[in-house]
Amino acid sequence: MYTPGEKAGVMGIFLAFGSGVSYAFYVLYYTKSGLSRLDPYKLSLYLSVLSVAGFFGRRGGGTDDSSHAVGRALTVGFSFMVSVLATVFFQMGARLVGPEKASLLSTFEPLTSVLAGTAFFGEKLTGKSLCGIACILCGVFLLAVGRQKKYVSPFC
């Protein structure tokens, strides 16, 4: 989120926009291309290999030697959870409920991240975070209610 007094970099805005567009493309392409018939673990392996190649290509082939072994182990474990498990679970969910519902449900990810940070890591829950959570919940509610045939939204 934007912090008053800080300069918003054009590259950051571009990367955030590109992230959203590429995620939307991934969700739609996954179900429409036949990739959903591929074993989720195999597809996760392919995506992870591409991610590792991108990571080492960006870093010039090396890692930071100043970090400790425990930090490296925790990084590998965390990376496994947020990339491999998340990717496999998303693919399985998209196969079961469809791309629209899967992408809708995945909008709760920032909400759970903020709440987990508050609960487990002692991060402060600011008004800005609460406003973001409220916007996410309102957006999901409007999308869910707007899809019902019987309901006519006063906003549209």
Give the confidence band of 89 by pLDDT, cuts at 50, 70, 90: confident
Tokens of 21: 């567009």
Cα 124 to Cα 115: distance, rounded to the nearest angstrom: 10
Range with lowest mean pLDDT among 8-12, 52-56, 83-87, 110-114: 52-56
Residue 125 above 80 pLDDT?
A: yes
Give the confidence band of 102 by pLDDT, cuts at 50, 70, 90: confident
Q: What is 58-127 written as a DSSP string?
A: HHTT---TTS-HHHHHHHHHHHIIIIIIHHHHHHHHHHHH-HHHHHHHGGGHHHHHHHHHHHHH-----H
Q: Could you tell me which residues come within 8 angstroms of residue 29 by beta carbon, excluding any fewer than 6 positions away?
A: 35
Q: Per-residue pLDDT tens for 136-151?
A: 888 777 776 766 555 5
Contact 50, 26 (CB under 8 A): no
Place of tokens 């409007």: 142
Give the confidence band of 74 by pLDDT, cuts at 50, 70, 90: confident
Q: Per-residue pLDDT tens for 24-73?
A: 788 778 778 878 788 888 887 887 777 777 766 665 545 555 457 777 77
Asked whether the whole model's pTM tops 0.85, one would answer no
**Sign of the torsion angle spanned by Cα atoms 11, 14, 16, 18:** negative
